[in-house]
Structures are given as structure tokens and as C-alpha cells.
Structure 1
Amino acid sequence: MLFSKSKRFNSLFKRLGGTTLTNIVTVGLLTLFVKGLGFGKEILIAENFGLSELLDTFYIAILVPSLIYNIFLGSFKSVFIPNYVSTLKLNSLIAGRFQSTSFLVTIGVAILFFILAFLFTDVYLEVFFKGHTEHYYSLVKKQFYYVAPCILFWGFSSIINGLLTIDNEFRYSSLSSAFTPLTIIVCLLFFKEELDDLVLAIGTLVGSILGFLFVGSVAIRRRLIQLHKPDFASSNIITLFKQLPAKLSASILVGINPFVDQYFSAQLAIGSIAALNYGEKIPAFAIGIVGIAVGNVMLPYFSKQAVEDITNTFNKLQSMLKQLIVFSLIITVILFIFSSSIISLFFERNAFTSSDTVIVSKIQQMYLLQIPFYITGVIMVKFLTSINKNNFMVLTSVISLVMNICLNYILIEHLGVYGLALATSIVSLINSVILYLYIYQLKKQHV
């Protein structure tokens, strides 16, 4: 049996190529390091501020910039990579124009959102966070003026990170996100008194600037940045703009699902929201690392392969999915069996009792069931993005959202809080099946 597993691993290794698998492992380890650093930052923030007004206002101040980054800039990077790979096949002049146009779009988006946020901050606070003091609103706006410029530096870093991943340089792009938690830690340890109530906001801004300078210097050293006169009429830029609304829509729809789960869990007994969050932490942490590692590497990989030979790329994808299903199922079974021990090890102390462990471990088991479908789903989404088929992902996102609402409503009646976790896994399964069937139809068209 071990020999059989070894053969499967070697088969997957050969199909992906040694360099690609090495990149996935590298990104996974570096992501683990960055997330660990972020966790340390959260511990230090909790130690310094607890559940304070300053912390509340900081999270409100950074909410809109973070949303813009996660939805718009993340989507822009995803459609930037495959279209830039296609542009590279032409010549350096056209590639330089493509880069310049992309940077100008990022600058325009950053300025636009900054102006809108500046003009409508008071309205935004009064509508969504009404009932607070003038001092509270003053703290939000004071910190917002420091974190808002981060949008620009995050945007530049996002595009440059895309250039680095296309060039198979994943180490530096993965490390760039470590600067913000690191600068916040430094500010809290050494400059808290001097920076006072701006310590978190300034730490975030300095981190975003250092992250940009870091990846920028790497890209310049590797001669990846080639700026020429922008061209908004080029075919690849037009394709990018056509794909962007679909990618944005899909990102927004996917982002709504956690809010749906929170809404349904709020209808249950007190403690259900907390139990759901505890049960989700370890599965989300695990699949988050795998998703980032696999997603960041496979998008440029598929983009390059598709330009060379689209039919062969379909075959590689299908083979990879079969292998990953087997390996992810093994991981799922192991974690499922030891779920109670894992929860007990990480959480069972002080107010978190053994009876809490029983509840949370069962919730965790329901969430763990999604691992094979989540991982394969990530790969299929990256594949579709690489061949500019983002429109279909809007449909799958709508179906997932509707199915999540329906399954939550049905399963909560029979299984309570466990049903909400199970619904998430079932939706992940349905989404993966739909994506696979669509890709299978695309493959038949190219054969």
C-alpha cells in the first residue's frame, strides 16, 4: 500500500514538474510563517488593547481599504496574470505598455476610492455604526487617513507580486505580506507611547510601504518592470477589462457566504456563533495555507501551459485532480478521526471545557469534509481564470450562495449548529462538481 502511494506521488510529481511542486511547498511554508507572524501580532494587540475603543475604531477604519484590496485588487491580479502571460508572447514593448496601463488603473482605483471614502466617511459611519460618541468617530477618521493610502501600495505590490510569480519567483512575493504584522509588532513594542492612538494605523501604513519597496526592489533587480506608454486599446487589456467584472462579482458573492452562516448561527442558542468559529478555525487555517500555496503557483503555471498547448493543459488538470482527490481524502480521514484530540490540544483550557470540546470537534468534523472539494475547487477556479472563463464562475458563485442559504435553512432544523458546518461542505462539493462538468465540456470542444 505504501508502495502504491509512493507511485501516485511520483506520478503527480512528474506531471506537475519538480519545480512546480517545489514552488507549492515553498509558498505553503512561507505562508505558514507569515500567518504565524500575524497570529503573534494578534496576541500582542490583545495584550495591549483588549476589547478597547481604539481597537474597535481601528478595525472600522481599515474595513473599507481591506475590502477594496480583497475584492477589487485581488480580482485584478487574478485576471492580470493570464493576460500578461499572453502579452509576453508578443514583445517587450507591448508587455511594457500592458504594465503601465495596469499600474495606472491601480492608481486610478486607489485615488477614486480614497476620494469617495473621504467624502462619505461621515455618512458611512452614521448609517452603519450609529450611536457612538464624537470621540469615537474622530478616532475612526483619524486612523482612516493613515490606512487609506495603503490601498495604493497594496495595489502596486499586488501587480508586482503577479510579475514575480509569472517569473517563478514565489519566495519574495510570499514574504511581502510579512512586513505589515512585523511593523505593527515593532511599533507596539518600541513606539507605542510616541504614536499613541495611531500606533496600529501607522504600523499598517509603514508595513504596506515596506512591502511595496521590498517586492519592487526585487522586481527591478530581476528586470521585470518595463514601463512604456500605456495603451488602453490593446486586445489583451480589453480582454482584462471584460473579465474583471465577472471576477469581481464572483469574489463579492463568495464573500457573502460567511455572513449568511453568521446570520443563521445567531438564531440558535447563545454560544453557537463562538462554537461555529472555533470549529472552523483549524480547517480554515489548513485549507487557507493549501489554497494560497496551490492557487498562487498554479495560476501562472496554467496560464503558461494554456498558451503553449490548451489540450495538453486540460489533460494535466484532469490527472492532477485525480491525484489530489486521493491525497486530500487521506488527510481528511486522519483529521476527522483525531478531531476531538486536536480541539482538546489547542483550545481546552480554563473556560473552554471538555463538553465544549465535544461540540466543537463535531462541528470541525463537518467542516473537514470540504477539504478534498475545496482544494480541487481552487485548482479548477485558477484554471478557468487562466483561460479567461471568469463569467462562468459568477454563475457558480450564485448557485453556491443560494444552495448555502437553502441548506442552512433545512439542516439547521435537523442538526442545529452542526448543520451549518455540514452545509458549507456540501456546497463545496456541489461547486466542485459543477466546475468539473463545465471544464469537461470545454475539454470536449478543444479535442
Structure 2
Amino acid sequence: MPAIRIALPSPLRALLAKGAGSAMVSGFLLVAMLTVVGKIVSFAKDAVVAAKLGTADDLDAFMLVFGFFSFAATVLAGGLPESFVPAYAEWRERRGQRRADRLGVQAAVWHFAALLACGIGLTLVASSLIAWATPGFSPAKQALALRLQTGLLPFLLCFGMAHHLSAWLRAGKSFLLAASAPLLVPLGIVIALLVAGDSVNAWTLVAGTVWGSVAHLLVLIIAHARRLPRSLVWWRCCLRHWEPGLSRVLRNAAPFLLGGVAFGSAAVVDQTMAAWLSAGSVAVLGYSDKLCAVVLAVTAGPAADVLFPHFSELVARRDWTGLRRRLFTSAGLIVGAALPMTLFLCLFAPWIVAIMFERGAFGPQDTQRVAEVLRFAAFQIPFYILGTVAARVAVSLQAARLMLTIAFSALVLNATLNWLLMGPLGIAGIALSTVIVHLISAFATCGVCLAVIRRKEALG
């Protein structure tokens, strides 16, 4: 059965094909446009949250706990899904679509088991984790964070599985649903905020997040269910006869998982160290990150989603010259497009923050704090993009061990620079630390990719 494709209206499809000139660029433009729509919905949500809660304790506690669960889900998404996509591309090339789909089902089962184990582990250590991470929180605020961690557990399972199913769709070069379904999470939060009216609190955010992530996962499950065979014989075969490629996926998942721990820990380390500073610091850092994420969402995100399967195919065909050319070309174009937006964020930071967030409980003083951090944080954007594109090439090349070294070095450097810079600069020092770490990591990752490509070319 052919891979599911959601058809675009004919005029839009023709416009994309004419303007892009290639399926890869068309896919990038499509994902970028959908991401912009998602960010509009997300900013509508953020604006309402800022008006209702400002930088209050409820939002501080929610953002810290949400960061823990996002980190856990993202780390696990950097394990099996990352190792699955190159294996899926190779298995489809060698064994056919049905065998590749069977590999996808079996990898999804293992990923769910890993998410469930992670959720149980987080629940068992919740009390100690919150106490360790929030020495600057009051006892009441720590107790609220502990309760929120229990409430957000379903989000971990749904968000993590959605990562895997989206990666599976992108591996088949079906980008539309993978890019549009995440809209349901901020949309769920917006609906919860509207229903709550003037009674918005941290639990309103929990309810919207959980139900939005459930809807996100259900849409992806339905998409895959429509594409896969409905024969009971095929499904029994999936569960009884393991694909040989699965052992490779599981074996390669461990280095990517450890690398995900190191790379993903940066946000958790930043939030945890921000909690040591004055009240509201976690929320201030979060608002700054959201504004940077707008640029990253329409550059690094679509680039990673669209380029990853193309990189994997080039590796499977051993087209090293094409791989190197595509790395340089795509990174150069995307970084060039991001630089004007980076400078705009830096120069007009107070005005941007005021327009986006200054209303209700979010006052001029909050605007000044967020703008100060944003002026530093914006400079991470070009280096983050370069690192993201290069990391996709490294994953396609299965250069997990070298990436692991870079990841843990970056984690240590991030914590060290935070400690050195947050004293004189406060929250802005944490943002500056992030910029330096992304700069060093991006160039190190590019160096690894080029070295691995040269070695494979020498081996023939």
C-alpha cells in the first residue's frame, strides 16, 4: 500500500512546485509555512498566559516541571527515532515497503515501553528531583511543582510517542501531517484558557497540555493505521517475528540516547540554575526562549525534518560528494535567511516583547527583564541552525560516538559558563552561555561530519 499523502489544493501545490524547483525545497517551504501557523497559535496561547499569570509562581512551577517532561520525551526521541530513520530508509531500499513498515511498528512498541519506564522512574524520584532543582522556591511552590509533575505524566507518554510517529512519517517524506499535528497542543491550551476564564492557574495549563497532546497522538495513530495493512495475519507477524533490522536500531539507539541526554540537558540545566536566582527568573528565561524559538521553528525545525530523510538516502547510496554538497548548501541558505531575523530580535527586543506579552499581569518591568535576556539569546540562532543541520548528517552517518563526545563536552561547558556568567549578568549570563555553547558545538559537529565523510570516501 503506498504511503499516505494528504493532498494540497492544486493552486498551492503548483505554486510550491514552481517556486521551489525541487521536492526537497518544496517540503521545506511547506513545513515552514505550517510551522508559522503553529507559532501564531502558540503565541496566542503565550499572550493569554502572560496576561493571566505574568511571571507568577504558578507559571514558574509549571514551566520548570514542563521542562523536565519535555526534556525526558525529547531525550527518548533522540534514541530510537533517531536511530530508526536511517535504518528504515535502508530497510525500505533493500527489503521493500512492507518489511520497513514492520520495522516501524516494532520500533514503536519498544519506544512506548521506554517512555513508560521513564515515566515510572520520574514518578518515583519526583520528590527528590523537585527539592534538588528548586532551592530558590518556597515550600508551597515546591509542593505545587510536585503535584504538577504527577498531572503532566500523560503528556510524557503522548508527546514521546508523537515524536516517534512523526519521525516515521517524515522518513516516508510525508511532511504535511507531521508538521501540522503539533498545532493541537497549543490549541488545546488555548481552549483550556478560554474555558477557565478568569480562573486560570497552573492546572489550567496542565489540562490543556495533556488533552492537546492526546489529540496530537490520536491523529498520528489514525494516519498510520490508514496506511498500514489491516490484515490480522500481517499484524500477528509484526508482533511474533522480529525484523533483523530492529537489533541494529536498538543497538544504535543507546549512543543517540546518551547524546540526547547531554544535548537536551542544556535547557533543564538553564532552567534549574535560573531557579536559583530571583523570583520569576525561570519564566523570564522561558519567554525569551519562546521568541528565539519563532525563528528556529521556521528555519532549523523544517530543515531538520525535511533534510533528514534526504541525508539518510544519500548515505544509503554512498553518495558522499552529494552529501557534502547538500550539507554546505542547505546550512548556508538557512543561516543566511536567519541572520536578518536574529538582528531584528536583538535591535528591537523591548518593542517585540511589549507587543507580544505586555498586558494584564505582565507589566513594563517584566518587559525590560525579558528584553535584556533576549538581546543575548538571539545570537544563538545561526549557530543552533548550523549545528542542527550538521547533527542530522552525523545521525545519518551513524557517527554516534563522536557526537556523544561533543554532547557531553557541551553539557559540561554549558553548566560551567552558566555558573561563571550568571553572577555578574544574572539571567542574561545564562543566555550568553547558551550562545557560546551553540557556537562551539556547531563547528565541532561540522568537523565531525566532514571527517567521517572523508574517511568513508577513502574506504570506497
Q: TM-score range by the shorter chain?
A: 0.7 to 0.9
CA–CA separation in structure 1 for the residues paired with 2:63 and 2:349: 32
- The 10-residue stretch of structure 1 (58-67 or 167-176) with the greater mean CA deviation from structure 2: 58-67
Residue 173 of structure 2 aligns to a residue whose secondary structure is: coil
Helix, strand or coil for the counterpart of 1:373?
helix
Please, which of 215, 220, 231 is the counterpart of residue 225 of structure 2? Answer: 220
- Are the counterparts in 1 of residues 76 and 160 from structure 2 also a CA contact under 8 Å? no
Instruction: Report the Cα offset of residue 438 of structure 1.
Output: 1.5
**8 Å contact kept, 2:78–2:256:** no
1:17 deviation in Å? 5.6
Mapped to 1, the partners of 2:191 and 2:372 lie a distance apart of 39
Q: Distance in 2 between matches of 1:363 and 1:85?
A: 41
Matched residue, 2:440: 430
Letter in 2 for 1:72: L
Aligned with 2:84: secondary structure?
helix
**Separation in 1, partners of 2:188, 2:281:** 35
Mapped contact 2:64–2:272 kept (Cα < 8 A): no
State the one-letter code of the partner of 1:98.
L
Whether 1:34 and 2:38 are equivalent positions in the alignment is yes
**Match status 1:321 vs 2:326:** no
| Counterpart contact for 1:183–1:203, Cα < 8 Å | yes
In the other structure, the counterpart of 2:364 is: 352
CA 1:277/1:244 → structure 2, altered by over 3 Å: closer, same or farther? same
Q: How far has the Cα of 1:377 moved from its partner?
A: 1.0
1:100 and 2:105 aligned? yes
Matches within 5 A, 1:352-371: 352=364, 357=368, 363-371=373-381
In structure 2, the residue matched to 1:402 is 412
2:291 to 282, 296, 307: 282
> What's the offset of the Cα at 1:145?
6.4
Corresponding residue number in structure 2 for 1:305 = 314
Name the CA distance, whole Å, in 2 between partners of 1:328 and 1:348. Answer: 26
Contact 2:69 2:156 in 1 (8 A): yes
Is the counterpart of residue 166 in structure 1 residue 165 in structure 2? no
What are the Cα deviations for residues 265-302 of structure 1, in whole angstroms up to 9, with x where unaligned?
67888888777666554334322442221111111221
Equivalent pairs, count: 430
CA distance in 1, matches of 2:72, 2:326: 34
> CA 1:57/1:444 → structure 2, altered by over 3 Å: closer, same or farther?
closer
SS in 2 for 1:400: helix
Distance 2:449 2:214 in 1: 40
Q: 1: distance between equivalents of 2:102 and 2:395?
A: 22
| Distance in 2 of aligned mates of 1:205 and 1:321 | 35
Q: How does 1:39-438 map to 2 (within 5 A)?
A: 39-44=43-48, 65-89=69-93, 90-116=95-121, 147-190=152-195, 201-223=206-228, 227=235, 228-230=237-239, 234-261=243-270, 280-311=289-320, 312-333=322-343, 335-339=345-349, 342=352, 345-346=355-356, 351-352=363-364, 357=368, 363-408=373-418, 420-438=430-448
Q: 1:338 to 1:315 in 2, by over 3 A?
A: same
95-104 or 372-381, larger mean C-alpha shift: 95-104
Structure 1 gap segments, 5+ residues each? 1-12
Counterpart of 2:451 in structure 1 is 441
CA-based RMSD of the aligned residues comes to 4.5
Q: Bigger shift: 285-294 or 220-229?
A: 220-229
Q: Map Cα deviations across residues 332-362 of structure 1 (whole Å, 9 max, x no partner).
A: 45555555654565567884269x75x8656
How high is the TM-score relative to the length of structure 1?
0.77
Query: Residues 115 and 157 of structure 2 are in contact (CA less than 8 Å); yes or no, is this contact kept in structure 1?
Result: yes
Whole-Å separation in 2 of the counterparts to 1:372 and 1:224: 43
Contact 2:47 2:357 in 1 (8 A): no
The separation in 2 between residues aligned to 1:332 and 1:280, in whole angstroms, is 13
CA gap 1:59/1:140 in 2 versus in 1, 3 angstroms = farther
**How far apart are residue 317 of structure 1 and its match?**
1.4
How far 1:248 moved relative to its partner? Answer: 1.9
Task: Sort the Cα spacing of 1:231 and 1:241 in 2 relative to 1 into closer, same or farther, 3 A.
Answer: farther
For structure 2, list consecutive stretches of 5 or more residues without a partner in the other structure.
1-16
Query: In terms of Rg, which structure is larger?
Result: 1
Distance in 1 (CA, whole Å) between partners of 2:96 and 2:104 is 13
Percent of aligned pairs sharing the same letter: 22
Partner SS state of residue 102, structure 1: helix
TM superposition score normalised by structure 2: 0.75
User: Per-residue CA shift, 1:294-322, capped at 9, x if unaligned?
Assistant: 11111122112221233122232133334
